[in-house]
Amino acid sequence: MQESIRDESATTFASRFYKALASGEPVDLALSEALLSMSTPRPTRENPNPHSFVDWGIPVLITLADDLNLFNLDTAAPLPLLQQFPL
């Protein structure tokens, strides 16, 4: 983050960002999706008619990496115990 952001924005950003990473998307795409989710108005109980979030431009990604995939989901997970030690 370039600066601090509101709690609502941080929750929205983190939820979408980590969901995208967990589904195997590269970091740059996960960041883009999280930024888009922050710029979409979301109604809440306290604010049923929200305006667009103002914090969407604060998260940035600066990298020199060639590969932005953090995980290889095919090989990252260990085998279940039943497959490791068949009966």
DSSP-derived secondary structure for the chain? --S---HHHHHHHHHHHHHHHHTT--HHHHHHHHHHHHHS----SS-SSPPPPS-TTS-------S------HHHHSPPPHHHHS--
Q: Report whether pLDDT(15) > 80.
A: yes
Q: Which of 5-9, 25-29, 42-46 has the highest mean pLDDT?
A: 25-29
pLDDT reported for residue 38: 79
pLDDT number for residue 2 = 83
Average pLDDT of the residues in 15-39: 88
More confident residue, 25 or 40: 25
* Model confidence pLDDT, tens digit, residues 62-74: 777 777 777 666 6
